[in-house]
């Protein structure tokens, strides 16, 4: 079974070349989109924090373009593999939501190439193997997402 560091290295290799978009959201759509875009534009893969994306009720990734998610995916994977912190929910649930949403019609899934899809499927399998207790409430979503990304 791979360890967290191996999974993260695979994610970094698959998504490390993803270019940083000029804008991450449809920032002209509304104030909320503009605020999320401003936050994401003020961070990079190294400075994005779990607190920036860890509130399911105010999650900029929900509004993010597939290109923006690809750019930030190495950071999001790190958050999902990190230990839960009391102030925030475990990020794995949110990441699974983003990966499961829409099934094979998911815009991020459609954007990713075969190597990226394989890396995401590996991450999901790793979560199933190593984070069973944390996934208990959402195991069906993880299995469904793994079926799409690994298919």
The number of beta carbons lying within 10 Å of the beta carbon of residue 92 is 23
pLDDT tens digit sequence for 25-68: 999 999 999 999 999 999 999 999 999 998 888 999 999 999 99
Q: C-alpha distances in angstroms, 120 versus 93, 100, 117, 126?
A: 14, 11, 5, 10
**Which of 115, 126, 122, 121 has the alpha carbon at shortest distance from 18?**
115
Question: What is the total count of domains within the chain?
Answer: 1
Tokens of 47: 């400075």
Full residue range of the structural domain in which residue 67 is found = 4-149
Contacts of 20 (CB under 8 A, 6+ apart): 44, 71
Rounded CA Rg of the chain:
14
Distance between CA 94 and CA 14 in Å, rounded?
Answer: 21
Tokens of 75: 């950071």
What is the full per-residue pLDDT of the chain (151 aa) written as tens digits? 679 999 999 999 999 999 999 999 999 999 999 999 999 999 999 999 999 998 888 999 999 999 999 999 999 999 999 998 888 888 998 999 999 999 999 999 999 999 999 999 999 999 999 998 887 767 889 899 999 999 8
Distance between CA 23 and CA 14 in Å, rounded?
Answer: 21
């Amino acid at each position: 079974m791979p360890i967290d560091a191996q999974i993260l290295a695979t994610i970094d290799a698959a998504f490390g070349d993803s270019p940083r978009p000029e804008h991450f959201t449809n920032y002209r759509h509304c104030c909320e989109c503009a605020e999320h875009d401003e936050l994401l534009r003020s961070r990079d893969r190294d400075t994005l924090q779990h607190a920036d994306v860890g509130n399911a009720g105010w999650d900029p990734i929900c509004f993010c373009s597939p290109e923006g998610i690809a750019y930030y995916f190495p950071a999001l994977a790190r958050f999902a593999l990190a230990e839960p912190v009391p102030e925030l929910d475990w990020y794995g649930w949110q990441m699974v939501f983003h990966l499961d949403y829409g099934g094979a019609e998911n815009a991020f899934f459609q954007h990713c190439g075969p190597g990226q899809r394989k890396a995401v499927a590996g991450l999901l399998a790793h979560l199933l193997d190593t984070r069973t207790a944390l996934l208990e409430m959402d195991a069906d979503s993880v299995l469904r997402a793994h079926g799409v990304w690994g298919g």
